Amino acid sequence: MSKLEKRLQSAADQAVRQRNYQRARQRAFTRLANTYPEVYRSFLEEEKMADEKMGKKWLDLDGNTNLANTRSS
């Protein structure tokens, strides 16, 4: 196996580990949100307010943005 093949295999292995970690993390978040929905929503709201103070836009929990309708009819 050449150096290039080893590097490619190593990168592929790392990508798989990262993807598996992200999946496990998402499952854990889902379980926590289902077990403690009020706490989860309050933490989420705190993070949203902090991000909005820094100018970052969020989707609301329904997937809608908080943009005002600026179209003239």
- CA 5, CA 12: separation in Å to the nearest integer? 10
Quick one: which of 10, 36, 43 has its CA closest to 51? 43
* Contact (Cβ atoms closer than 8 angstroms) between residue 52 and residue 58: yes
pLDDT at 15 over 90: yes
Contact between residue 12 and residue 4 where contact means Cβ atoms under 8 Å apart: no
pTM: 0.55
pLDDT digits (tens, 9 = 90+) for 17-64: 999 999 999 999 899 889 999 998 898 889 988 988 998 887 765 656
Q: Where are the domains of the chain?
A: 3-53
In this prediction, residue 6 carries a pLDDT of 92
